[in-house]
A = this chain, B = another copy of it.
Amino acid sequence: MSKASRKAVILLSGGLDSATVAAIARDDGFELYALTVAYGQRHQLELDAAARVAETMGIARHVVQPVDLRAIGGSALTADIDVPKSANVASISEGIPITYVPARNTIFLSLALAFAEAIDSTDIFIGVNAVDYSGYPDCRPAFISAFERLANLATKAGAEGNSFTIHSPLIERSKSEIIQIGLRLGVDYGLTHSCYDPTPERLACGRCDSCLLRKKGFADAGVVDPVGYVT
């Protein structure tokens, strides 16, 4: 099979990392199939951003899969718990943050695996990062390897001798490196959305962990962040 005809499933959140991953997969010659999981986020902004990114990336098909994790709870992102705010990256609490969503990446990868198998693809891209988000257990290389092993046991495709690859090209990259890669590949970061707690006017709060890491990434890369912040 020629490289150009290979299909890949991209987990597309609408954030900076997954937009970069989509650009990497496209640059690798894959035909892109995007999966956005609408998991009971507090706001529509991430989904809008995912749709905008999908549109500009020439994606063959974009599936938005609702999975309302609020029924399960256990996270500041899916239950009624305040998102923590800090003045800068150094003040972000150590350990696993309360924005951790139980088993999120396992759920996302499972759905991506189903999508991949349904379209005869064995390549899945996910924008996890073990550097800036070291607090999340399901962003570590060992987790990705374990899922890859599982995927081959879990599926008809795997049982028939095909081998799934879970691509996580950003896993060892810093935020500023990610931004530099994306800019080189033409990503428009003005379309992306990272904030956990945006204002009603759709401005990023600038003080949640996700905003702080993003702002520091742009500062380190020496590039202006096209997204608007309150602070």
Contacts and interface: CB of A to CB of B under 8 A. Distances in A.
**Contact residues on A (Cβ < 8 Å of other chain), bracket:** 35 or more
Interface stretch (A23-31, A138-146, A221-229): A138-146
Instruction: Identify whether the interface residues of A are mostly helix, strand, loop, or mixed.
Output: helix
Nearest to A113: B103
Contact of A65 (B71, B114, B137, B142): B71
Interface stretch (A12-20, A104-112, A169-177, A192-200): A104-112
Given A67-B65, A68-B66, A154-B143, A137 B114 contact: no
Contacts of A104: 114
A230 to B, nearest CB: 30
Nearest to A111: B107
Nearest to A118: B74
Contacts of A146: 146, 149-150, 153-154
Interface stretch (A41-49, A81-89, A155-163, A178-186): A155-163
A97 B172 CA distance: 40
Contacts of A147: 150, 154
B137 A106 contact: no
Interface in A91-106: 96, 100-106
Contacts of A102: 113-115, 117-118, 155-156
B66 A72 contact: no
A76 interface: no
B67 A118 contact: no
A103 B117 contact: yes
A153 to B, nearest CB: 5
A106 B113 contact: yes
Contacts of A130: none
Nearest to A149: B146
Contacts of A58: none
